[in-house]
Structure 1
């Protein structure tokens, strides 16, 4: 029996599902562009995402979430498939605040994948990628399979959950 090949991961298509649910859906993240090993997403400006009520600038927390999601999607884009990853380290070096009432885009590339880790770097920017809001560098653990299902002794589902 021939099994049809699994379609290659496509960040544009995946974003249609990812961004309807959960935290990324609540943030209102939007897909903007992709390449073979990179993804760019946008965090639209919203008044409820401010860090300071006296200044209409996106808070750092939502920007970190933007960059974390763009990192995961860049890894899947590079691998060509969706496999769960866990953020081990995501360093964010802020260069300046975002501009007032401006959306922030996050472009992240996955530049290396090993058997158990993936490495990313990226830029968050609002108007000009040459004038970044922040630089990021991250390390993610790649997860081949849920260890609980691979080894029932580790607490796999009993069917009574």
Structure 2
């Protein structure tokens, strides 16, 4: 369970909707996928340095973005599993590698983009790659749904990938 203090509303939230048993390990692994996670949820070490009792701080908006990233990655994993069943796992893994490379490219070309914006673009590029592949078997496009979920959280240029 993640014990999160929302700094703007001064509320404590206990968040359990994530895979795995150990929250610190989960966050460390999740930041490998989405580097902005360490900006969204700030760790607060307990006085005795016991990681089992670590808490986190975030604004309400940052916490909502974290939940969007978490839900977005869960859907990516489901879609990649479908691709792996249709083709194979190595083929599905190539989508992630291509989207990660494009994320780096976006970061180099657009130094003003935040990590959250780059993480959104990573998700968008990943879903676009999966959409293009799954359309062959009649699956509908997911990108309009993704854009609707993120509307108002990133700029319109980032939302539509026209940076």
TM superposition score normalised by structure 1 = 0.27
Higher strand content, 1 or 2: 1
Which structure is richer in relative contact order (CA contacts within 8 A, separation 6 or more)?
A: 1
Higher helix content, 1 or 2: 2
TM superposition score normalised by structure 2 = 0.27
